[in-house]
Amino acid sequence: MAKELTARQMARQVEKMLGDKVYEVQSSSSNRKYEVLVSSADGRISCPCQGWCTKKPNKARFCSHCRQVVERQGMQLVIRGDYFVVIVEQGQRLRD
């Protein structure tokens, strides 16, 4: 019988397959942990929390968990459409 994977285990498998980076962030309002993803394909930063999933009019998607990752990792962002995109990570060069 196949073992069921948790969301964390599946995120880790996706990270390994695609080269995406997954950062675990503790919620400040509960004991929940969120997986913030930085796409290796286009640099989009995303989070499965309600704050990120609820799109605000005329604003790019972002949340406090993404902000924590950006600050901790020394990332630089730009807005592309409805998304924040990582263009520089600590110790790396600018993305195209």
pLDDT attached to residue 88: 73
**For position 77, what pLDDT does the model report?**
92
Q: What is the pLDDT of residues 33-73, one digit of tens each?
A: 999 999 888 899 999 999 999 988 999 999 999 999 999 99
- pLDDT for the residue numbered 6: 76
**Residues 65 and 48 sit within 8 Å (Cβ to Cβ):** no
- CA 35 to CA 79: how far, in whole Å? 21
> Strand, helix or coil at 51?
helix
3-29 pLDDT tens trace:
677 776 776 676 666 778 889 999 988
Would you state the pLDDT for residue 2?
58
Domain positions in the chain are 7-88
